[in-house]
Amino acid sequence: MTISIGTSTTPTVWETHAAWLRLREDCSRLAIDAASEMSERRMRDDKEAVMASRDRIARMTPPSIVNVLI
């Protein structure tokens, strides 16, 4: 993975890794903040919607592919 937006030099592996870690930390913080603000009922409803969506996708996919994905 290379991140070199707006620069003329290629970043080192350590610079790229540090940028990835900062991005990951920011995303984790956003997810934690969003979850703390979400009601228990809404989280349960979201989980149920995700499971229903996965179930529908699994039914549309040929059985041989489903076995590989799961």
**23-64, pLDDT tens digit by residue?**
888 878 777 777 777 777 777 888 888 888 888 877 775 655
pLDDT for the residue 27: 78
Give the integer Cα–Cα distance in Å for 33 and 25: 12
Q: Which residues contact 66 (CB under 8 A, 6 or more apart)?
A: 58
Alpha-carbon separation of residue 67 from 14, 45, 53, 54, 70 (angstroms):
38, 27, 17, 14, 5
Tokens of 21: 């870690």
pLDDT for the residue 66: 53
Give the integer Cα–Cα distance in Å for 8 and 50: 43
Confidence category of residue 7, pLDDT binned at 50, 70, 90? low
Record the pTM. Answer: 0.34
- pLDDT reading at 69 higher than 70: no
pLDDT for the residue 20: 82
